[in-house]
Structure 1
Amino acid sequence: MFGKGLIKGLQITWKEFWAQKLTVQYPDEQHPVPERFHGRFILDVDKCIACSLCANACPNKVITIKKQKVGKKQFMTDYIMNIQYCLFCGLCVESCNKDALHFSQDFNMNQYFYRDLPLVLVQREAPAEPVDEEAPAAKAGDDKKAKAKPKPKAKTDKPAEPAADSEVAAGKAPDKEGQ
């Protein structure tokens, strides 16, 4: 029938005309956003291993990651997103295997100046020395060694007193302190 689409459109318009209006006074009140809303990006730097999976998954190449090798580990120095080209598709968040990149509920990302548009999530210097994660384990191991029985040493021609002094200096013989 001719005009069937026109009649359906007018029915929807007539229904919406009589429906209750929903107005949110924006700065004072905020409209609730869904739980899975794609807003501002949040990066958990402690979880990120600088693998660049998120940058490779982005169809518009929005993410720029700069990393530096310190010792045997990669250290992320810069994580910058050119948000003006972002589609908010979520492929970068899905590709992160450590769950370091997330969306927040913040939708107000407007900027006045064009130079402020890139979203800088991380910008820091790489450490000069390699970060040792085994240091706390070594300290815990020292406590166990201090409580363990000392191993018998091989006999030497030196007198026993210098060995006792080295034990006092190392803190292993508390009964002979100050001698």
Structure 2
Amino acid sequence: MFGNGLIKGLRITLKRFYGPNLTEYYPEVKPNLPPRTRSSMALEPEKCISCGLCVNICPNQVINLTSEKDGNNKRVLKTYHMNIGRCLLCGLCTQSCPTGALRLSQEFENAVYHREELLWDMIARSKRSNKPSGEEG
């Protein structure tokens, strides 16, 4: 009665012990994520036409943008802020973007210590991510 469970448990343990290693060495070796991973947001400000569709469709009111008109009476993006702490990563904003300026990215290291760090200035983030790797700032 009790021996069957013990033998079954030992069999599973030995199978895992001598089987392939499943450990990932995360900080040193970055994992290969599937292409459809949703873990962060990315903005290309030069593509944004400040239409406001992403702001209106967001169910949690995560996005806040401001724009102004230039000399050609065309809207130009001034600020683009996201409260990532409230974001569901549902992708509705990226689907509604007519120019593809907003997209889901695979950047997954988003852990922060303070709640204020979840308020992202997407224009500043895009400039940081576009810098060459040798540049500091």
* TM-score, structure 1 normalization: 0.56
Q: Aligned residue for 2:39? A: 39
Unaligned runs of 5+ in 1: 1-9, 124-179
TM superposition score normalised by structure 2: 0.72
Number of matched pairs: 110
Q: Report the Cα offset of residue 67 of structure 1.
A: 1.2
Q: Is the 8 A contact 2:40 2:105 kept in 1?
A: yes
Which structure has the bigger radius of gyration?
1
Structure 2's unaligned 5+ residue stretches are 1-7, 125-137
Q: CA deviation at 1:100?
A: 0.8
Residue correspondence of structure 1 range 66-105 to structure 2 within 5 A:
66-71=66-71, 72-105=73-106
Cα drift, residue 103 of structure 1: 1.8
Alignment partner, residue 24 of structure 1? 24
112-121 vs 60-69, greater mean Cα deviation: 112-121
Larger proportion of strand: 2
Distance across 1 between alignment mates of 2:97 and 2:109: 24
Cα drift, residue 56 of structure 1 = 1.2
Structure 1 letter corresponding to 2:58:
C
Q: Which secondary structure state, in structure 1, belongs to the residue aligned with residue 35 of structure 2?
A: coil
* Corresponding position of 2:107: 106
CA distance in 2, matches of 1:70, 1:31: 44
Structure with higher RCO (Cα < 8 A, 6+ apart): 2
Instruction: Give the root-mean-square deviation of aligned CA atoms.
Output: 2.1
Q: Secondary structure at the match of 1:84?
A: helix
Distance, in Å, in 1 between the alignment partners of 2:119 and 2:65 is 13
The percent identity for this pair of structures is 37
Runs of 4+ in 1 over 4 A off after TM superposition: none
